């Protein structure tokens, strides 16, 4: 029921309103998704409704805030309801994971705190804000851990035991778990929770000694106190010191021990007489026998003491003494045991989001962390920090992500594991060292053949110990196959052995695996290659990697193939002795091919290693082809074109039809990209099609023919799309490409088709379908982990978001594209495109320093590029920056030069954009010339691109207004229906503004003022500071004409303030000479 109706219903009675909000809901949504979050919120609401009376109400105010209306209830009586709510929803489950929800409800009263809906909502908001600030201050004061997830049930159990102990019992609870699981962190958090309870908190730790020190743990317990007890401190300290002295002077006699036992028991009674005592003891796997006996004695006589003893121990370090202690304590009346589990996938994601501040993390990063940490908090913390230190973490449009998948072992983590390793018995150490030589997983039968000095029973005992300590796990569904847990442990154990020992083990394992014929899958072959390389047998390693990469490529596992081939190339660089020249060529050829999509720099380097020394003409042609493609991607177009032509010449002489097809297409794509020779591009595409249709390509396998034909159709679609401005024919070829790729199993070609269709739909004005196609393409490229295509689709999405007025999203896409391309060999041409998009988008948002910085980077990148198209794009970007900032003369010089260049190119899209930018620059000073430029563009622009066409109509209307023809400018209203089909289109602002200008110059000042207000709303929605300034400027003029002096003055002040802000945020070198000014009337 809406708040207004509830108030109306209770207008003659008192009403208490309990309000609270769910903290960190953005993090929960990022971890589990919107659907699961909605279900969670519904479960919260259902829980509340089950706790209140029938006459009361519970509603969701918004996504994070809940209201509970208590009819005829004074605020002071709402506490019981609040307690019930806290208990019920403090630990709810979401996706099977218990969530600890820290609620801070506030209570307001009707009519005391407000009589209207607005007054009450304002009161609720301010009360919740105060509660939030107060909570943050208390957390900071208490030193609460910044990141702590996944232990709500455990903390609740400890809290319940504390309440039970507070009633007059000695309660023991032992917390156990594997290394790094968070036992100490749990004790720390529990101590933090109790810091305001008044309890005496005693922290202690068992220490390892070769010869146990009697009562070491209890001496430590009575030496430390963590609670501030105020006036009670003196009495507490006296009791602690008394027992500490007794322990220090205790003798090894029975009577002395008995005296100490009873004295300790009495001391704990005295300590807990006023307030409960909480003893938090860490590392009790090292507990000395005397302390163990004392703890048994205290637990066996639990009455008259308000004490909770919580001890934590690691299962990999348990000794016989602790086994006996646990067995005895289990028979005492007030004993509890708690085993800590690994974090769930959702908890892991929440941890990362809290630690990093990200609202979401990508599946790639989540999968990596899950694989290498398996939800163990300490491992998660160390690996996450190491990823950040080394620069592997990046922020993407989908959240926090991973640049690439690294092999890393943080030093701190390694030392932590090694410290424990040294405490394990010799048999377990040797077992783990030998098993680690197999890698993450090891087959038990093969391991037996390596550990010759172990009998079967000793080996089985070592396996049992490792399983019990949770250092290894059995691989599900596999017979006698085990793995390290977490997987990263194998690296630690492997590194404990000398290099000579490692090499010998790997050679021995290689022989065992070869005899067992484990060489069927890429995984098997990679394993063989690793053992061969680690054992110093490089030629074998390369042969296995060659076979493994071929299998991976057959299954379209491009990133896996790249990783395998990179390993092979790295081995080749170490030395090629004994390597078969044919295998060497295959490795470098495949590596060059796949690197074109991931890092073209690697392609360039690989082909330069072989191209000059090749005698075989077919291999030389292939090397030249890959080399040419890499050079074009990296911005060396003339070199690339030359090598492609040389490759084509060889392919034609050899009648190598697959090579000819590819050369024709690649040359056509190059000519299309430069915009200088589209006719030649078209000839090359049709030559390739002719090869296929004439049957000359029959020697190729059918999927290969179809794959190449699909790419050629895509290239033809782009030709008609960009150069000829024929969207109908572009759609025809893109649809043909789609029909072929749907029948192929090639995900890469399918992604390329989605990308092309996305471009087409954007030009047709179907932005929703365009975004859908781009997302599908990105999804596949991400799955294939291909950097260059991922960056390309990010730029396309950035441009779409920019023209949709979503500048924040556009900046995210362009920024990610730049980062990805930096990892992909830094191809200059593509990076320049991404930085140009960033510069223009930053200009819209008012971040002028960032815009000029991006522009400077573009200029540096294109200095040595030989493509006129790239230089033209840079001119357009620079001209647009100066035009919008009011540097008319500089903008006109740049844009006039750009337009002259564009007229000599056949890329209609770039030509149209050049003309529109020049016309906009001319409009302010020479509107008649602007109209002349626009008339030159009028031919095919409507068929070319919907966005460009609408821009053209609006630019024409503005020029007509300033040329003294406002009545003719009103024809721009014809595009209103098309504009309304493009929600958020950035030209909506210009549309309303130019209509306002037309009305203004026709004397219709009321209509003009309405349009200017709509323009202002659009500018503010987009957060376009320059547009906002222009809208206020025109509003000032309209209100002045209407005699609205106050409004005019207000708009003048706002325009002046924005103008000052604009000039102050420009780079110092650009602050003089702008024509931006207030249009005085």
pLDDT digits (tens, 9 = 90+) for 960-986: 999 999 999 999 999 888 887 776 677
pLDDT over 90 (residue 310) = yes
Same domain, 978 and 1012: no
Mean pLDDT estimate for the chain: 86
Q: What is the pLDDT of residue 333?
A: 85
Cβ atoms of 790 and 748 within 8 Å: the answer is: no
CATH assignment at residue 435: 1.10.10.10
185 and 268 fall within a common domain: yes
pLDDT at 142 over 80: no
Question: In terms of DSSP bridges, do strands 307-314 and 277-282 run parallel, antiparallel, or are they unpaired?
Answer: parallel
Q: Check pLDDT > 50 for residue 646.
A: yes
Residue at 435 is within a domain = yes
Q: What is the pLDDT of residue 26?
A: 66
pLDDT category at 1 given cuts 50, 70, 90 is: low
Q: What is the DSSP letter of 1069?
A: G
Domain boundary among 142, 171, 199: 142
The pLDDT assigned to 948 comes to 87
- Summarize the confidence of residues 876-891 as an average pLDDT: 88
Residue 163 CA to its chain's centroid (Å): 42
Q: How confident is the model at residue 339 (pLDDT cuts 50, 70, 90)?
A: very high
Residue spans of alpha helices (H) in 357-400: 363-373, 377-389
Same domain, 122 and 16: yes
The Cα–Cα gap between 202 and 224 comes to 6
Local confidence band at 230 (pLDDT 50, 70, 90 cut-offs): very low
When mean pLDDT is compared over 222-236, 545-559, 592-606, 689-703, the highest value belongs to 592-606
Identify the three-state secondary structure at position 67: strand
Tell me the C-alpha distance between 533 and 525, whole Å: 12
**Res. 232 pLDDT band, cuts 50 70 90:** low
β-pair partners for 58: 68
Distances (CA, A) of 335 to 188, 190, 199, 439, 991: 21, 18, 20, 41, 76
Query: Per the omega criterion (within 30 degrees of 0), is the bond before 111 cis?
Result: yes
Computed from CA positions of residues 361, 364, 370, 373, in that sequence, does the dihedral angle turn out positive or negative? negative
Task: Give 97-112 pLDDT, tens digit per residue.
Answer: 655 566 678 888 888 8
Residue 187 pLDDT > 80: yes
* Residue 970 included in any domain: yes
d(CA 378, CA 1048): 62
Give the integer Cα–Cα distance in Å for 772 and 786: 20
Counting Cα atoms < 13 Å in the Cβ hemisphere of 157 gives 18
Examine the domain organization and report whether 926 and 991 are in the same domain.
no
The stretches of 516-598 forming alpha helices (DSSP H) are 522-534, 538-554, 558-574, 581-598
Asked whether the predicted pLDDT for residue 195 surpasses 90, the reply is no
pLDDT at 98: 59
Question: Is the pLDDT score of 341 beyond 80?
Answer: yes
358 versus 461: which is more confidently predicted? 461
**Are the C-beta atoms of residues 969 and 948 closer than 8 Å to each other?**
no
Whether the predicted pLDDT of 32 surpasses 70: no
Q: Which of 1014, 649, 1062, 596 is nearest to 851 (CA)?
A: 1062
3-class SS of residue 59: strand
Q: How much is the pLDDT for 866? A: 65
Q: Which span out of 133-142, 350-359, 533-542, 862-871 was modeled with the highest average pLDDT? A: 533-542
Contact 513, 443 (CB under 8 A): no
* Residues 922 and 1036 grouped into a single domain: no
φ/ψ bin of 455: left (φ > 0), alpha (ψ from -120 to 50), beta (otherwise)? beta
C-alpha–C-alpha distance, residues 351 and 937, integer Å: 56
Rounded-to-5 percentages of helix, strand, coil across the chain: 65, 10, 25
String of b and e for 458-472 (b: at least 16 CB within 10 Å)?
ebebbbebbeebbbb
Average pLDDT over residues 273-280: 91
Last residue of one domain, picked from the residues 431, 465, 497: 497
Pairwise pLDDT comparison (173 vs 68), residue with the higher score: 173
User: Which residues are CB-neighbours of 194 under 8 A, at least 6 positions away?
Assistant: 162, 201, 227, 278
- Three-state secondary structure string covering 270-308: HHCCCCCEEEEEECHHHCCHHHHHHHHHHHHCCECCCEE
Beta bridge partners of 17: 69, 108
202 with 242, same domain? Answer: yes
Q: CB of 559 within 8 A of CB of 574?
A: no
Q: How far is it, in rounded angstroms, from Cα 505 to Cα 530?
A: 12
Does 224 fall in a domain? yes
Number of Cα atoms under 13 Å in the Cβ half of residue 818: 20
Does position 140 have pLDDT exceeding 50, yes or no? no
Rounded CA gap, 79 and 61, in Å?
21
What CA–CA distance (Å, rounded) separates 915 from 937?
Answer: 7
- Banded pLDDT at 279 (limits 50, 70, 90): very high
| Beta partners for residue 281, in sequence order | 204, 311
Query: Does residue 188 carry a pLDDT above 60?
Result: yes
Domain assignment of residue 370, given as a range: 345-408
277 within some domain: yes
Distance from C-alpha of 829 to C-alpha of 418, rounded to nearest angstrom: 48
Residues with Cβ within 8 Å of 178's Cβ and at least 6 positions away in sequence, in order, are 314, 315, 316, 376, 469, 470, 471
pLDDT tens figures, 908-930: 888 888 999 999 999 988 999 99
> Within 13 A of 1013's CA, how many CA atoms are on the CB side?
10
* Cα dist from 65 to 61, 125, 359, 1074, whole Å: 5, 10, 19, 48
**Which CATH number do you get for residue 125?**
3.30.70.270
Rounded-to-integer distance, Cα 754 and Cα 217, Å: 67
Cα 1021 to Cα 1028: distance, rounded to the nearest angstrom: 10
Taking residues 491-516, report their average pLDDT.
90
**φ, ψ for residue 651, nearest 5 deg:** -60, -40
Same-domain status, 1029 and 998: yes
Q: What's the pLDDT band for 1081 if we cut at 50, 70, 90?
A: very low
H helical segments located in 575-721: 581-598, 600-610, 617-633, 637-654, 657-674, 678-693, 702-718
pLDDT score for 1000: 94
CA distances 33 to 65, 344, 353, 360, 987, Å, are 19, 15, 14, 9, 33
pLDDT at 952: 92
In whole angstroms, what is the distance from residue 688 CA to residue 963 CA? Answer: 51
769 domain-assigned: no
Q: How many domains does the chain have?
A: 6
Are 325 and 455 in a shared domain?
no
- Dump pLDDT digits (tens) for 458-490: 889 999 999 998 999 999 888 889 999 988 899
Long-range contacts of 499-507 (CB under 8 A, 24+ apart): 502/437, 502/534, 503/534, 503/535, 503/536, 504/535, 505/434, 505/437, 505/450, 506/437, 506/530, 506/531, 506/532, 506/534, 506/535, 507/531, 507/535, 507/536, 507/537
Same domain, yes or no: 238 and 324? yes
d(CA 447, CA 509): 9
Q: Is residue 136 included in any domain, yes or no?
A: yes
Among 27, 815, 33, which Cα is nearest to 397's? 815
What is the structure's pLDDT at 667? 95
Global pTM? 0.69
Residue at 365 is within a domain: yes
User: Are 667 and 897 within 8 A, CB to CB?
Assistant: no
Identify whether residues 392 and 428 lie together within a single domain: no
**Domain harbouring 1031, CATH code:** 1.25.40.10
Nearest CA among 935, 965, 966 for reference residue 952: 935
The span from the first CA to the last CA of the chain, in angstroms, equals 53
The strand pair at 441-443 and 481-484 is best described as antiparallel
Angle subtended at Cα 35 by Cα 30 and Cα 40, rounded to the nearest 5 degrees: 85
CA distance 1019 to 885: 16
Is the sign of the CA dihedral 296, 300, 303, 308 positive or negative? positive
Q: Where would I find the H helices in 411-468?
A: 411-421, 426-436, 444-448, 456-468
Is residue 360 a part of any domain in this protein? yes
Q: Both 335 and 350 in a single domain?
A: no
In this structure, are residues 308 and 278 in contact, taking their beta carbons and an 8 Å threshold?
A: yes
State whether 58 and 129 are in the same domain.
yes
Single out the residue in 497, 515, 534 at which a domain terminates.
Answer: 497
**Confidence class for position 144, pLDDT limits 50, 70, 90:** very low
């Amino acid at each position: 029921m809406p708040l207004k109706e509830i108030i109306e219903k209770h207008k003659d009675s008192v009403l208490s309103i309990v309000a609270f909000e769910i903290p960190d809901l953005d993090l929960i949504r990022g971890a589990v998704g919107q659907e699961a979050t909605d279900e969670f919120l519904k479960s919260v609401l259902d829980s509340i409704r089950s706790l209140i009376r029938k006459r009361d109400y519970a509603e969701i105010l918004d996504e994070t805030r809940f209201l509970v209306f208590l009819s005829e209830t004074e605020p002071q009586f709402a506490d019981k309801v609040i307690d019930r709510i806290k208990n019920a929803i403090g630990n709810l489950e979401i996706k099977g994971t218990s969530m600890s929800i820290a609620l801070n409800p506030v209570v307001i009263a009707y009519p005391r705190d407000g009589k209207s809906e607005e007054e009450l909502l304002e009161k609720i908001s301010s009360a919740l804000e105060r509660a939030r600030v107060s909570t943050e201050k208390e957390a900071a004061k208490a030193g609460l851990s910044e990141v702590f997830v996944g232990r709500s049930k455990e903390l609740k159990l400890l809290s319940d035991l504390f309440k039970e102990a507070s009633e007059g019992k000695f309660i023991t609870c032992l917390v156990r778990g594997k290394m790094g699981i968070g036992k100490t962190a749990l004790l720390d958090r529990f101590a933090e929770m109790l810091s305001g309870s008044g309890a005496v908190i005693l922290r202690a730790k068992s220490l390892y000694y070769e010869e146990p020190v009697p009562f070491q743990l209890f001496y430590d317990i009575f030496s430390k106190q963590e609670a501030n007890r105020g006036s009670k401190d003196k009495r507490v300290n006296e009791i602690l010191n008394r027992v500490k002295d007794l322990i220090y002077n205790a003798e090894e006699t029975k009577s002395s021990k008995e005296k100490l036992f009873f004295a300790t028991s009495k001391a704990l009674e005295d300590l807990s007489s006023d307030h409960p005592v909480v003893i938090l003891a860490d590392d009790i796997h090292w507990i000395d026998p005397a302390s163990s006996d004392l703890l048994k004695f205290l637990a066996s006589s639990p009455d008259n003491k308000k004490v909770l003893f919580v001890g934590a121990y690691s299962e990999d370090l348990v000794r016989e003494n602790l086994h006996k202690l646990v067995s005895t304590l289990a028979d005492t009346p007030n004993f509890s045991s708690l085993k800590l589990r690994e974090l769930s996938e959702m908890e892991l994601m929440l941890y990362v989001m809290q630690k990093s501040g990200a609202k979401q993390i990508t599946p790639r990063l989540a999968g990596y962390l899950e694989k290498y940490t398996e939800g163990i908090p300490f491992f998660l913390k160390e690996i996450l920090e190491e990823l950040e230190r080394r620069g592997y973490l990046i922020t993407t449009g989908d959240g926090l992500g991973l640049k690439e998948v690294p092999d890393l072992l943080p030093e701190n983590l390694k030392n932590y594991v090694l410290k424990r390793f040294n405490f394990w018995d010799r048999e377990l150490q040797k077992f783990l060292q030998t098993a680690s030589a197999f890698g993450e997983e090891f087959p038990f039968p093969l391991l037996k053949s390596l550990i010759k000095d172990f009998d079967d029973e000793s080996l089985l005992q070592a396996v049992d110990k490792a399983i019990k300590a949770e250092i290894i796990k059995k691989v599900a569904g596999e017979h006698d196959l085990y793995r390290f847990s977490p997987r990263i442990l194998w690296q630690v154990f492997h590194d404990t052995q000398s290099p000579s020992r490692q090499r010998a083990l790997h050679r021995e394992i290689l022989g065992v695996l070869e005899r067992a014929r484990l060489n069927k899958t890429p995984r098997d072959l990679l394993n063989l290659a690793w053992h061969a390389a680690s054992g110093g047998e490089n030629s074998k390693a390369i042969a296995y990697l060659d076979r493994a990469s071929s299998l991976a490529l057959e299954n379209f596992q491009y990133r896996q193939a790249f990783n395998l081939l990179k390993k092979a190339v790295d081995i080749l660089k170490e030395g090629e002795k004994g390597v078969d020249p044919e295998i060497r060529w295959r490795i470098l050829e495949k590596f060059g091919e796949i690197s074109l999509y991931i890092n073209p720099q690697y392609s360039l380097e690989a082909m330069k290693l072989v191209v000059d020394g090749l005698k075989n003409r077919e291999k030389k042609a292939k090397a030249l082809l890959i080399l040419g493609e890499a050079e074009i991607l990296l911005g060396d177009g003339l070199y690339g074109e030359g090598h492609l032509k040389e490759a084509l010449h060889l392919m034609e002489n050899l009648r190598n039809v697959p090579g000819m097809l590819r050369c024709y297409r690649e040359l056509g794509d190059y000519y299309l990209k430069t915009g200088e020779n589209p006719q030649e591009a078209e000839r090359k595409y049709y030559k390739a099609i002719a090869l296929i249709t004439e049957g000359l390509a029959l020697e190729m396998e059918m999927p290969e023919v179809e794959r190449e034909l699909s790419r050629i159709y895509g290239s033809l679609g782009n030709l008609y799309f960009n150069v000829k401005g024929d969207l109908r024919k572009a759609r025809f070829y893109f649809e043909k490409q789609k029909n072929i790729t749907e029948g192929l199993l090639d995900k890469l070609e399918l992604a390329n088709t989605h990308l092309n269709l996305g471009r087409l739909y954007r030009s047709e004005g179907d932005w929703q379908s365009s975004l859908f196609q781009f997302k599908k393409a990105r999804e596949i490229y991400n799955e294939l982990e291909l950097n260059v295509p991922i960056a390309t689709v990010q730029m396309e999405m950035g441009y779409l978001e920019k023209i949709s007025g979503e500048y924040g999203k556009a900046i995210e896409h362009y920024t990610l594209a730049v980062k990805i391309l930096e990892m992909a060999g830094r191809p200059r041409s593509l990076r320049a495109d991404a930085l140009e998009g960033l510069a223009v988008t930053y200009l819209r948002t008012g971040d002028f320093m960032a815009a000029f910085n991006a522009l400077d980077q573009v200029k540096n990148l294109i200095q040595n590029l030989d493509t006129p198209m790239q230089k033209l794009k840079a001119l357009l970007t620079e001209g647009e920056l100066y035009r919008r900032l009011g540097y008319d003369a500089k903008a006109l010089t740049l844009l006039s030069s750009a337009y002259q260049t564009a007229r000599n190119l056949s890329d209609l899209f770039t030509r149209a954009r050049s003309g529109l930018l020049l016309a906009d620059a001319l409009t302010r000073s020479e509107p008649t010339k602007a109209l002349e430029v626009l008339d030159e563009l009028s031919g095919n622009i409507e068929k070319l691109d919907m966005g460009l066409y609408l821009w053209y109509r609006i630019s024409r209307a503005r020029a007509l207004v300033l040329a003294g023809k406002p009545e003719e400018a009103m024809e721009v209203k014809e595009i209103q229906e098309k504009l309304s089909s493009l929600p958020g289109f950035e030209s909506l602002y210009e549309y309303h503004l130019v209509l306002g200008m037309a009305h203004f110059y026709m004397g219709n000042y009321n209509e003009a003022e309405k349009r200017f207000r709509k323009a202002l709303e659009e500018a503010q929605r987009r957060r376009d500071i320059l547009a906002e300034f222009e809208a206020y400027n025109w509003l000032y003029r309209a209100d002045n004409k209407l005699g609205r002096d106050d409004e005019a003055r207000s708009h003048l002040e706002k325009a002046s303030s924005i103008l000052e802000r604009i000039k102050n945020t420009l780079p110092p070198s650009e602050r003089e000479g702008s024509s931006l000014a207030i249009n005085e009337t």
